[in-house]
Structure 1
Amino acid sequence: MAPNRLIAPSDYTPFESEDEQIQQLKEWGLLSEKATKTKTFVYKGGGMQAVCTIGGYADKLTAVIEFEGGRQHCIHPSYLKEMQAASFGQRQSAAQSGEASEAAIEDASISSEPAATEAAAAVEAVLEEDIAASATAVEAAAPKAEAQEKPVKKAKKEKAPKLELPEEKIKMKATVKEFTTVPNNFSDTDDEVVIYEDVSIEEPMLELGAAWSSHSATLKKLELEVGDILIFECKVVAKKLTKHPVAYKINNPGKIQKQQQA
């Protein structure tokens, strides 16, 4: 049984063959690309459902469907496609859109038949845009929600690049920072050491920052004090001081000169 409120086409182009019908339905998205046969559709509106077939088109955006008894109705293909979903009409938003569409179609039927056809197509096109916009919004929200669920990874601390230390004896400059002792596993007494700051190699110029050395008899003769600035020749190696964040060791400093403190 066809719905009571229909917009019959004033003029339309019927399909000349089933092949032409299948091709057009594929373009409208009403058949899959692999389909070899046409099919019937269900029109849902006005609180009822009716089986229909697509007999032709008023234009490329307006399909002409036929009900039992030969009655015809103009409809937007995308709107007809939405009607095929089992959930069509169940959602409140869809129900409201359906009521608006029926009201618009009823008003349009008062005017001339060509104008009514255009009004129905326009209403159905609006419905299609609303559905497409909703789908786009859902798709856009999905990756954002997924991104929020993922735990934030902590940025890895970048390691400082390893310095290339010269193997030969070099000239260095350093400032005495402190005197301390460190445990000696092979002796009953702790080792005395000197920790330096503002340490740099003079040639080639290279900043080391901090270094340490044994508080040898040679250094003790100089009666060093915190803040003394020294220039000397030595070898330097990468060897961390026990229990201190000092990565370089000064070996066998010689030709030591004390500079006047600023």
Structure 2
Amino acid sequence: MNLEVLKKRNKIVTLVLIFVMILWAVCSKFADFNAIKGLSSIPKAIVWLFTRFIPNGDSFSKLPDILEKLIETILLAIAATTVGATFALFFGVMGSKVTKGTKALSIISRLIASVFRNVPDAVWAMIFLLSFGQNILTGYFALLFVSFGVLTRAFIETIDETSDSAVEALEATGATYFQIVFQGVIPSSLPQMLSWVLYMIETNIRSSTLIGILTGTGIGFVFDLYYKSLNYSVASLVVISIILAVFVIEFTSNYVRRIIL
């Protein structure tokens, strides 16, 4: 590599690092964040975690209620994801260049996906709180909208990447548009699409826990209830239940992905 080019690259890297450090210092100042104080509090936080935030014998009496809410949260995430995936499939086909739909439909599909995908689920939850209040429907629509946006974008890219040869082969035989979609596009893209759906279910299970704190439903509400009442032993059991559930779901999802891909 040319010595001048290497020097120029090192200079750019140095300037970027300096800029990042200045930006961090300015943001810390405005946020009133003390890095030294924050780092020094870590040992105390760890000690508190392992002395007070642990389940005890009494907390396990609440386990049936915790599991009931945990299952409710998981089912909510699955329901929102599958419905979102159904709508995303339609918009994904409309938005793909491979299916050769109208340019207007493609632009509209991509625009809608971009809007729904870039608004965080917590923001959607706050928007729906104004209409539906604190209930499970608020969390459902928040997860549904984000799932729809993310999966639409993922399905468009998947169809564009995996369906080219299948579409060309069917076009050569004189197949109709719907035959191309249902016999070429969807079958060739389906394994990757299912993988995206499984990934979205994992993500939504994590997100629904936080959304539950806002909407007053599910396992998030249970954690918030016990934590705010200073019942840390039960709150810790809720956290452990969520972690174990996420690991089980992720293991199952990875296993299914290995089979279909």
TM-score (norm 2): 0.22
> If you compute each CA radius of gyration, which structure gives the higher value, 1 or 2?
1
TM-score (norm 1): 0.22
Higher relative contact order by CA 8 Å / sep ≥ 6: 1 or 2? 2
Which of the pair is proportionally richer in helix?
Answer: 2
